[in-house]
A and B are shown apart, each in its own frame.
Chain A
Amino acid sequence: MIFAWPAQPVIWILAGLFGLLVVASVASRMMARAPGELRQRIRTWWVMIAVFALALFLDRVGAIALFGLVSFIAFKEYLSLIPTRRADRRVLFWAYLAIPGQYLWVAEDWYGMFLIFIPVYLFLGLALRMVIDGATEGFLRAVGTLHWGLMITVFSLSHGAYLLNLPAEGNPAAGGVGLLTFLVVLTQANDVLQYVWGRTLGRHPVIPKVSPNKTWEGLIGGVATTTLAALLLAPLLTPFSLWHSLLAGLLIGIAGFFGDVTISAVKRDLGVKDTSTLLPGHGGMLDRVDSLTFTAPLFFHFTYYLYY
């Protein structure tokens, strides 16, 4: 079996997302002065939501593999942007092998290994591998940036995939697929909502040194609407009580903001605007999953602690 039929509420959510896409496409076509970038962005949303829908219709292992592909693209973007040493070619190759490794532990449902593989074994192993080559000039920067990239693009994101392993009894409404849908839909909605609130009402910058366009109005409006959406979606997709739904909404809204500005800080440091040109109108994969790198591990542990 490659395909699996997700729980009914997940299908309604997907239908709702495609409905929103239709509305957005029609509206951007009717607006005579809609900027070309907006239309391009909506076209790319069609592709991304189609891929997300495909992931939800794949069986557990298939969906985990697709998550692994997202990590691979994001990690490749990261390695292509940071300064690297020619001497580390082979070390980088080993670092890439961490991706199938990490997602294998997810697929095997080996929780202990999933938690320590990158933070312990690769943390030590990549340093060891670099030392064997003996290039000491720029060693600390090379080993530090490499491990940071693995943590953000592989370790963090793999927590989203691990939601699929959570036993169905813990979430009778929609199972692990429901929790993953809740996380991804709210994280991406939060990005869009913060942007829309910021564009319409934004006056006071939050963190001007990193992201001049991020405003308090955008942040507060975004977090508030994301929390509202969490309250509406939680009964369909999660086992959360009312209080926990509220907390989950706040967590995703605020953590999403910090994920976004963290990747912005990285790009500012490296002097680039986008992480690649993979997703026209959005930039690269890492631009799109920046918020998810923070929300996935935090939401996973929130849920795991309270309900499993």
Chain B
Amino acid sequence: MRERIVTALRYLFFLLVVRPLVLLVLGINLRHGERLPKRGPAILVANHNSHLDTLALMTLFRQSQLPQLRPVAAADYFLSRPWLAWFATRIIGIIPLERQVKPGAGDPLAPCDDALERDEILILFPEGSRGEPEQLADFKSGIAHLAKRHPGLPVLPVFLHGLGKALPRGERLLVPFFCDVFIGEAITWSGERRGFMAELEAAMAELAAEGDFPAWE
């Protein structure tokens, strides 16, 4: 019973809050939307500038696909307070990830593996944090471990722009801007970690170069 209430809350939160916020208050300019996976398992890999990134990516899918969407987010941040932890894990549906690997703590990527086994779609931000708004940072290689364990799994680079202008790190006031979402071609595990990461970062840089963005200093 309680499960069903939480599921209903999650559905309503996305229908009544997230979708109007992302699609009406902000507005998405989507390019290559046809490349989005119809079903899991798959991983979306995006650059990270704002808390809005996750919400914007989740609205790219139909409301009925909500149970399959799992953003991977920092456990140290999102599990730090009980209310936030409940909201992040139950309503947004995050998979908490330990950013610092502690010896003897087990495999930090195991929950992601399980989700992929269940044909879910992971949303991952390999920059590790939101960082400086609208700046691309180096990717962490956790994504390579996941791709290696699931050969053939489509990994889609997604370039986001504008969400860091609307709500950058450390700001509470949301200022509406249209946001660009460019979906790249799916990449699969190439058999070698460094090559895979280079391929992913190159695909991301290529997507970023598709846009012609106004200055924001």
User: Any chain B CB within 8 A of the CB of A134?
Assistant: no
Q: Which of B30, B162, B177 has the most CB of A within 10 A?
A: B177
Asked whether B214 lies within 8 Å of A84 as measured between CB atoms, the reply is: yes
Q: Contacting chain B: which of A86-94, A162-170, A240-248?
A: A86-94
Asked whether B217 lies within 8 Å of A86 as measured between CB atoms, the reply is: yes
B179 closest partner in A (C-beta) = A80
Number of interface residues of A (CB under 8 A): 23
With A80-B162, A90-B173, A93-B173 known to touch, is A277 a contact of B29 (CB < 8 Å)? Answer: yes
B176 closest partner in A (C-beta) = A76
Asked whether B178 lies within 8 Å of A86 as measured between CB atoms, the reply is: no
- Neighbouring A residues of B114 by C-beta, 8 Å: none
Asked whether A82 lies within 8 Å of B216 as measured between CB atoms, the reply is: no
Asked whether A85 lies within 8 Å of B175 as measured between CB atoms, the reply is: no
- Neighbouring B residues of A89 by C-beta, 8 Å: 171, 173, 175
Number of interface residues of B (CB under 8 A): 18
Residue of A86, A271, A276 near B27 (CB, 8 A) is A276
- Neighbouring A residues of B165 by C-beta, 8 Å: 84
User: Any chain A CB within 8 A of the CB of B212?
Assistant: yes
- Neighbouring A residues of B171 by C-beta, 8 Å: 89
User: Any chain A CB within 8 A of the CB of B215?
Assistant: yes
Q: Which of A82, A86, A270, A272 has the most CB of B within 10 A?
A: A86
Closest beta carbon of chain A to B21's beta carbon, Å: 13
User: Any chain B CB within 8 A of the CB of A83?
Assistant: yes
Asked whether A272 lies within 8 Å of B173 as measured between CB atoms, the reply is: no
Asked whether B30 lies within 8 Å of A85 as measured between CB atoms, the reply is: no
User: Bound complex: CA of A271 vs CA of B211, how far in Å?
Assistant: 11
Asked whether A76 lies within 8 Å of B178 as measured between CB atoms, the reply is: yes
Asked whether B175 lies within 8 Å of A96 as measured between CB atoms, the reply is: yes
With A96-B175, A96-B176 known to touch, is A278 a contact of B214 (CB < 8 Å)? Answer: no
With A276-B29, A277-B29, A278-B27 known to touch, is A83 a contact of B176 (CB < 8 Å)? Answer: no
User: Bound complex: CA of A277 vs CA of B217, how far in Å?
Assistant: 25
B12-44 with Cβ < 8 A to chain A: 27, 29-30
Instruction: Give 1 or 0 for each of A268-308: 1 = CB within 8 Å of chain B CB.
Output: 00111000111000000000000000000000000000000
User: Bound complex: CA of A93 vs CA of B171, how far in Å?
Assistant: 13
User: Which residues from chain B sit less than 8 Å from chain A, CB to CB?
Assistant: 27, 29-30, 133, 162, 165, 168, 171, 173, 175-178, 212, 214-217
